[in-house]
Amino acid sequence: MNITPEQYSRMTDSASPKSKSLVNIPVAFLSGGLICTAGQVILNIFESAGMDEKTAGTWTSIVLIFTSMILTGTGIYEKAAKHAGAGTLVPITGFANSVVSPAIESKSEGFILGVGSKIFTIAGPVILYGTAASLIYGIFYYLSGF
């Protein structure tokens, strides 16, 4: 059976669920904003405790990553993501979730061959791209003389 690209496109469009953008976009915006607001509150707490801005920012990142890891491990993050949608992809918590999820799913295969090999399934390319991009940006920064 030969299917043309146009027929395939029509078939996938009819089988795909329709997105409720009028609901999903505001919910994602509000849930992402809630995560960012929580981060700002944590940062303010650390700064009011006497930490300088850089140290408070580092500790805020650690708290957000740790919280995301715990919520992912207990299954709460996944349940929240079903309702919040793309709002849970706020970079630091979403990235922590994407690193922990494959590790949890593969723990039955053991710590070395399961968790150890799967933990970087998503994080590896991101770390590689981030490192390469920072190298390129650093070269441009150096050459521009800023």
As a whole number of Å, the CA-based R_g of the chain is 20
User: What pLDDT shows up at residue 111?
Assistant: 67
Q: What is the pTM of this model?
A: 0.68
- Which one-letter amino acid corresponds to residue 2? N
User: How confident is the chain (146 residues) per 10-residue block, as mean pLDDT?
Assistant: 86 83 90 94 97 96 93 91 86 83 73 69 73 90 86
How many angstroms separate the CA atoms of 12 and 14, rounded? 5
Query: Does residue 123 lie in a domain region?
Result: no
CB atoms within 10 A of CB 71: 20
- In a domain? residue 72: yes
46 is a domain residue: yes
Instruction: Please report whether residue 47 resides in a domain.
Output: yes
For residue 122, the model assigns a pLDDT of: 66
Residue 32 lies in a domain: yes
Q: How far apart are CA 138 and CA 145, in angstroms?
A: 11
Q: How many domains does the chain have?
A: 1
Domain with 40 in it: 23-87
At 97 the pLDDT is: 85
| Phi, psi of 4, deg, nearest 5 | -80, 160
3-state class (DSSP) for residue 2: coil
Say what the pLDDT of residue 46 is.
97
Please, are residues 118 and 105 in contact by the beta-carbon 8 Å criterion? yes
Task: Report how far residue 117's alpha carbon sits from residue 96's, in angstroms, rounded to the nearest whole number.
Answer: 16
CA 136 to each of CA 8, 48, 145: distance values in angstroms, whole numbers, following the listed order: 40, 37, 15
